[in-house]
Structure 1
Amino acid sequence: MCIRIFIFLRAFVFVCAYNVFGLEVVEFRVYQQELVDSVRYLVSEKYDGVRGVWDSKHFMTKRGNPINAPKCFTQQLPPFALDGELWLGYGRFEEIQSLANMQDSTCEQWRDVKYLVFDAPSCGIKDRQCTLSERLEEVRIFLHTHNPPNVRLITQHILEPQDLHTLDSHLQAMLNEVLKYGGEGLIIRPDERGYRAGRAKNAFKLKAYTDSECRIIGYTQGNGRLRGKIGALVCEQVLQSGRDVLIPSIWHNKRITFKIGSGLNDTLRANPPKIGTIITYQYNGFSKNGIPKHTRFVRIYGE
């Protein structure tokens, strides 16, 4: 009973610290070019780690749950708030997730963990209204002065307003480079003044693909090698905002029809899922009319 009370109080203290320090963190929406503002943006790699918020005394997840990193790791960190990813390396998400969930862990277990910083929510201990670049400079100064071995500032690439008309091609080139060595995607943020917590309006994440579901309503016939088989699935879907995908209000409840031709093997083309079947597909952003781009069949929904 006493142990349970202690655990509850400990969790309560962490949640209170999370709220008192005002560290509700920014949550990125899935990239859509139509929602990008004509301002300077900073683009960085999105690492497949555990989001870690440092409130100057404790580590927490973005939901305010404690991450019990050992003192040998936290003593490297500054006396001001940071936001970033706890990371062990490409393809090792399950390992860092398990470590972050441990109640008691050792310095040896945390030896190879890197804290990859992409923001300083409070702009150090000075000005809460500084731009993203200014906040990152504060972190850079601290790292240069103290040289902590397990803390690193994530590299940022600048996209100026005049580059926005070619934004998709810029981002696709950056994404391709990240994917070459096993990266997950990109984070795209405006270099604006002040740290805006909560669901972002103009800060985005871009992965190779995002998952969704649609209902098969027809097929197109294949040509050439695919003669006698289907060329693509014709799908129908009603657009809705979800937790990760926020769409413009003008698209809400919009019924769309589109084709999915990629991801189908010869067996599926010869014997496609029946009309009315719900399938999971992947896509990369939306067209200006709200149609998913670069669609790819994944599986029948639920399989």
Structure 2
Amino acid sequence: MHPTSLLFGSTLVLVPAIINAAPAPLMLASEAITTAHLSSLDLSQYSVSEKLDGIRAYWNGQQLQSRSGYPISAPPWFTQGWPATPMDGELWIGRGRFAEVSGISRSYKADDRLWRQVQYRVFDLPAQPATFDQRQRALQRLLEQIDQPWVSIIEQRLLGSQKQLEAYLAQVSAEGGEGLMLQRRDALYHIGRSSDVLKYKQYQDAEAVVTGYQPGSGKYEGMVGALRVTNDAGQQFSLGSGLSDAQRRDPPPLGSRVTYRYNGLTAGKLPRFARFLRIRLD
């Protein structure tokens, strides 16, 4: 296994050159819901937490892995004493610091100084054959045994009304947070996309694969004007808005996954006002 280099923003990051890594066995949220969807939900059946803007990290009982299944080179002290029990969580530094934690977690050689600011915020126990509420109680007991200040559970709230949910979203967004996660309390953990896990944000987002580039013009002459992408529904469209000058000079590679934000759908069912948000490096 030999390292290869990737340019992440202005930082050169070394990662293991692993071919065909199997994705981590994680439960993933369905597409983001809108306010219009809330009326059909019984909110008493859901736990609500802040959606952290970090790197999804799966502890398989021996090693941390990214969502894509690649090993995360954390310092030995970071995971020392962790149990053989699989854990699902997020590597996080703070709100609005996704780029920093992404660069740290993808570095082939762990920088001890940088890792000192990273937290592992845990929200589930994938191997537990129990409901989400039961898994949360088991997780709390497990983290008490681990007893490390950089490892903690993500707070879950029970909100009784749409008004309370919208107020919580407004508070989190005003403080620089990304949004909320709604987890059905009686749901078992199962791998793949699930309607038992919902995202609720002030905007919608989704992922797509980069399939090509449109050349820039004017001030973007000689750079990328827009990315050509295909989303998970098989729809093809362009993403130009949201790209920085640095990203136009050195765009996300073909085949990479990117996150885009949008505001509803057009009459043709395409994302409206689609805007590049970030490259998905996990």
TM range (shorter): 0.5 to 0.7
The equivalences for 1:1-303 within 5 A come to 3=2, 11=18, 15=21, 23-32=25-34, 33=37, 37-38=41-42, 40-123=45-128, 128=129, 130-159=130-159, 163=160, 166-167=161-162, 169-210=163-204, 242-243=231-232, 282-283=262-263
Report Cα offsets for 1:117-171 as digits up to 9, x if no partner.
1111112xxxx2x111111111211222331121010000124xxx4xx43x232
Q: Which residue identity lines up with residue 64 of structure 2 in the other structure?
A: F
Distance of aligned partners of 1:107 and 1:196 in 2 relative to their CA distance in 1, 3 Å threshold:
same
Q: Distance in 1 between matches of 2:26 and 2:274?
A: 35
Q: Which residue identity lines up with residue 61 of structure 2 in the other structure?
A: S
Q: 4+ residue runs of structure 1 moved beyond 3 angstroms?
A: 7-12, 34-39, 280-283, 296-299
Q: Distance in 2 between matches of 1:3 and 1:30?
A: 38
Q: Distance in 2 between matches of 1:8 and 1:106?
A: 13
Structure 2 portions without partners, runs of 5+: 4-13, 207-229, 234-259, 276-282
Q: Which residue identity lines up with residue 135 of structure 1 in the other structure?
A: R
Identity over aligned residues, as a percent?
Answer: 31
| Cα contact 1:37–1:202 (8 A) shared by 2 | no
| Equivalent position SS for 1:68 | coil
| Cα contact 1:77–1:148 (8 A) shared by 2 | no
* TM-score, length-scaled by structure 2: 0.64
Report Cα offsets for 1:32-75 as digits up to 9, x if no partner.
42695546101000011011111111111112122111111111
Q: Distance in 2 between matches of 1:10 and 1:138?
A: 36
* TM-score, length-scaled by structure 1: 0.59
Report Cα offsets for 1:269-295 as digits up to 9, x if no partner.
xxxxxxxxxxx9843x79xxxx9xxxx
Distance of aligned partners of 1:281 and 1:199 in 2 relative to their CA distance in 1, 3 Å threshold:
closer
Q: Distance in 2 between matches of 1:153 and 1:82?
A: 11
| Equivalent position SS for 1:52 | strand
State the shift of 1:176 in Å: 0.9
1:225 aligns to what?
none
Q: Distance in 1 between matches of 2:62 and 2:261?
A: 43
Report Cα offsets for 1:155-213 as digits up to 9, x if no partner.
00124xxx4xx43x23211101111221110001101242022111232111221269x
| Equivalent position SS for 2:116 | coil
| Equivalent position SS for 1:90 | coil
Distance of aligned partners of 1:68 and 1:281 in 2 relative to their CA distance in 1, 3 Å threshold:
closer
Q: How big is the alpha-carbon RMSD for the aligned residues of Structure 1 and Structure 2?
A: 3.7
Distance of aligned partners of 1:176 and 1:76 in 2 relative to their CA distance in 1, 3 Å threshold:
farther
Moved more, 58-67 or 26-35: 26-35
Q: Distance in 2 between matches of 1:177 and 1:8?
A: 37
| Cα contact 2:203–2:261 (8 A) shared by 1 | no
Structure 1 portions without partners, runs of 5+: 213-240, 246-279
Q: Give the structure with higher Rg (CA).
A: 1
Distance of aligned partners of 1:136 and 1:3 in 2 relative to their CA distance in 1, 3 Å threshold:
same
Q: Distance in 2 between matches of 1:181 and 1:8?
A: 33
State the shift of 1:78 in Å: 2.6
State the shift of 1:8 in Å: 11
Equivalent pairs counted in the alignment come to 211
